[in-house]
Chains A and B, each alone.
Chain A
Amino acid sequence: MSSASISLTVNGATRRFDGDPSMPLLWFLRDELALHGTKYGCGISQCGACTVHVNGAPVRACQRRMQTLEGASVTTIEGLHPDGAHPLQQAWRDIDVPQCGFCQSGQIMQAATLLARNPNPTDADIDAAMNGHICRCGTYPRIRAAIKAAAEQSK
């Protein structure tokens, strides 16, 4: 195995990775940086629990290998808002979205990129953006409502 030395920014801080370049970003975040808000759910981009932002775009950290991240800027749920008070985080709490809560970091991170490019999403927009995320507790109706509430609040 070739070892890599990769420099990237995570939640605004410069981080260095020296290890298996094929390691997915998920395990770097969880095992090396102890950023546990990003969750392992499926490992194959099917559930969305590990969604983070890479250079502002939603990315499944379980499939994004470290070797592709030189110079990248990664934002995790811990870095979404300095006080945890992004309009989506507030709306999630106002509407009491989470049940077990495990998938919600990924859901919020995905929804944040949706609102960033589309401040007034329709139901169809929400379906398209959020369909890659699984919530086994079944919080989808409240996620939908919270995205709309956050959009409203951001106006």
Chain B
Amino acid sequence: MSARKNLPWLSTPGSTPVSTAVSSAPIDMAPPNERRDFLKLAGMGGLLVAASALGVRRLDATTRGGMEHDTNAEPWEPHAYVQLSDDGTVSIYCHRSEMGQGIRTTMPMIIADEMEADWTRCRVVQALGDEPKYGSQNTDGSTSIRDFLPKYRAAGATVRALLEDAAAKEWSVPSAEVKAQNGTVVHTPTGRSKAFGALVPTARTIPMPAANRLRIKSPAERRWEGKRMPGIDLVPMTTGTAVYGADVVLPGMKVAVIARPPVWGGTVATVDDTLAKQVPGVERIVRIPASPMPGGFLPLGGVAVIAKNTWAAMKGRDALRIIWTHGANASYDSKAYKDTLRASVRKPGQAGRTNGNVQQALAGAARRVSAEYYMPHLSHAQMEPVVALANVSNGKAEIWSPVQSPMDARKTVAEYLKLDVANVKVNVTLLGGGFGRKSKPDFVCEAAFLSREAGAPVRVQWTREDDLQHSYLHSAAAHRLEAGLDANGKVVAWHHRSAYPAISATFAPKVTGAEPDELTNGASDIPFAIPNLQVEICPATAHTRIGWYRSVNAIHHGFAIGSFVDELARTSGRDSASFLLELLGPDRQVDLSTAGLVKPASNYGATWADHPLDTARARRVVETVIEKSGWRGPALPRGRGRGIAMHRSFLSYVAMVVEVEVLPDGTVLVPKATVAVDAGFIANPDRARSQMEGALIMAMSNVLSSEVTFANGRVVQSNYRDYGVARMRAAPRLVDVHLVESEGLPGGIGEPGVPPACGAIANAIFAATGIRVRDLPVGRQLAGWQTRTNVGVGSP
């Protein structure tokens, strides 16, 4: 494999006429000649270092072998690239997509800190989609720090050691006498110093420091890791210059808007495009074939209107007269489907986890409590509707798009257009929100297909309506929970049945229920000490594209289990927080590969040795929110209430106490929330806090107002007008986030805040009103609550 093929940044410089430089978004100002700089560096000067699980390598003219690495020899998946140019500029290649979690700041913070770089000389460059060069770039599953922290640190520490060695060699002094410090290396006995950039020529030629010589900084030595750092994209984001998907323009570019089948699996019967063609600016009408069901990442098909500008394309699309053949899902109806899921959880399912004998324990229990919960389909509704720009010609495709998984975009486009994957280049822009939607590249394929058809660069712009009506929705889910309590009020039996269509139904036919591993998103891996426990999967067939949405199944697991624990406490006359602590039982570490699960839990990709289910960590976050929230303080007046819940997901432990105020008309406000997070080591505490704030507010939408429903196979909602999301008025006045200080292995941050918030909000509503909402969203269910007492809504 040639270096050119392996490293797309070595492609011919300056030939891509992009109006806005998306491949470089530096800390201060965009460098005009990013690619030329890199070429010059790799060929003639500078220092380029890459870190992988196998160690850290230098890639430069003298060691081209590193770049032309034989991928058959060993998996060479460097995740961090650091470039030090002769003028001292440090460029850090961010291989993850930025969608608000702050990775474009956090990753450079870690590397530059270990490197002892001068932060003002650091820039971040958004990496192209390229596997295996970067390994997995799928920015999904809250993995960007938890999977890569040691590699980022190793990359920085290696460059630091190499530069120290270079200085020692230049000065003919022992390495022990030199020390890197804020962009320079200092000879400690004499105080003389040399800037990093000036050391590059020597650093390029001396041996790389041995892995066993690498020293990762102690916590006391860290400059930025674990401290507050301003986001590197703050200036562009506050001045309108940040580049998102629809902000890239190519000369001769067309804009396309597509009419897609309103029912999943539908096809075009006839199309009359007479009126559409009369819209000024409309240039072409192109049919996109429907992909074979269930379709996976491929386009839904439909009719595209290609026009000079966005407005003409939208007007042209509106003017199409299409008769659709709707296919097998034309009768999908959410009201009926809810009943189907309900009926499903009332019958035994397939065991996902079994401990003890739940039926016997329930039969012998002093008290049995059961409840059913329902959560509808949800949509990501990220602020930026999906969008992609493609330029396909001569067997090559170049894409600019806000994708979470550039490698999936690349592979899927290659398969879809039957191109060599090496000829597909994916440039990742900033994402205007992702939440899982943008890891599915159907929209990228649409743009690539239309660009090939039109023989010109084409931007496919989804409207908000398209985004809501043709998404990959969060599963609608029903849960039935039943517990048996002994005479002392202790839970001795736990029986949980769930029915929801699986994500895998989008990728394989004949899937009729959740996969066992979907239950390990906080249902079959609950941290409770209950001797008799059974978790079952009940049938549920998908009638729309199901996909992952921030926190995935942990959303409805968190809502149902969080609510049920509160219900158990209250029916026993117990304080909910004390009851929750008692359920956690004695501190212990559980390996869920041997805990009665039908299939060992994947544990979010981590080993059970690294990340056991640690109930002490769960207990600590619960105790923290009890203490910090004033849970044990004076009771709140009627109409206000506090709810508590805790959930482990994505290897992190989050507890929340949410305080709500329910207005007479049923509107729910959140004056205050207290959050405790144990996510192991937290590299960027401010972004961790902001993720908790955002997770709580997203959970407010999930619980209070959001719902996608179907009638006659079609999505009923069309825009934010009828797809309700949290707004300023309801937003918390105070979110008090407590991060557990830890040097432990990092867990996720982006997703784990949502599930406990869902349970805590529902429980707070009960505390405030006496009304238990079991069917989401809350919507108008609380209107006139003051005239009602202790009414269970959605109770069987």
Q: Which residues of A contact B (CB under 8 A)?
A: 1, 19-20, 23-24, 27, 30-32, 34-44, 46-47, 49, 76-78, 84, 89, 92-93, 96-105, 108, 123, 126-127, 130-144
Contact = CB atoms under 8 A, between A and B. Distances in A.
Contacts of A104: 237-238
B383 A103 contact: yes
Contact of A41 (B280, B384, B465): B384
22 contacts: A1-B280, A20-B280, A20-B312, A31-B309, A34-B249, A37-B239, A37-B241, A39-B244, A47-B464, A47-B720, A76-B240, A93-B235, A96-B231, A99-B691, A101-B430, A131-B729, A133-B727, A136-B435, A136-B701, A139-B693, A139-B694, A141-B734
A147 to B, nearest CB: 10
Nearest to B244: A102
Contacts of B447: none
Contacts of A93: 230, 234-235, 238
Nearest to B248: A36
Given A133-B728, A142-B693, A42 B719 contact: yes
B781 interface: no
Contacts of B384: 39, 41, 100, 102
Contacts of B731: 138, 140-141, 144
B728 A98 contact: no
B99 interface: yes
Would you call the interface of chain B mostly helix, strand, loop, or mixed? loop
> Considering residues A20, A41, A78, which has the most beta carbons from chain B within 10 angstroms of its beta carbon?
A41
Contacts of B237: 98, 101, 104
Contacts of B382: 100, 102, 136
A81 to B, nearest CB: 8
B725 interface: yes
B73 to A, nearest CB: 40
B310 A31 contact: yes
A130 B731 CA distance: 11
A38 B690 contact: no
Contacts of B312: 20
Q: Is the interface of A mostly helix, strand, loop or mixed?
A: loop
Contacts of B231: 96, 98
A154 B472 CA distance: 45
A83 B20 CA distance: 19
A30 B241 contact: no
Contacts of B238: 84, 89, 92-93, 97-98, 101, 104, 108
A38 to B, nearest CB: 7
B343 to A, nearest CB: 34
A105 B247 CA distance: 14
B311 A41 contact: no
Contacts of A32: 309
Interface string B532-559: 0000000000000000000000000000
Contacts of A144: 728, 731, 733
Contacts of A1: 280
Contacts of B424: none
B735 interface: yes
A131 B728 CA distance: 5
Given A46-B719, A100-B430, 19 more contacts: A30-B246, A30-B310, A31-B309, A31-B311, A32-B309, A36-B246, A36-B247, A42-B719, A43-B314, A77-B240, A89-B238, A93-B238, A98-B100, A99-B102, A100-B431, A105-B240, A131-B727, A138-B696, A141-B735
Contacts of B255: 31
A44 B55 CA distance: 52
Nearest to B669: A127
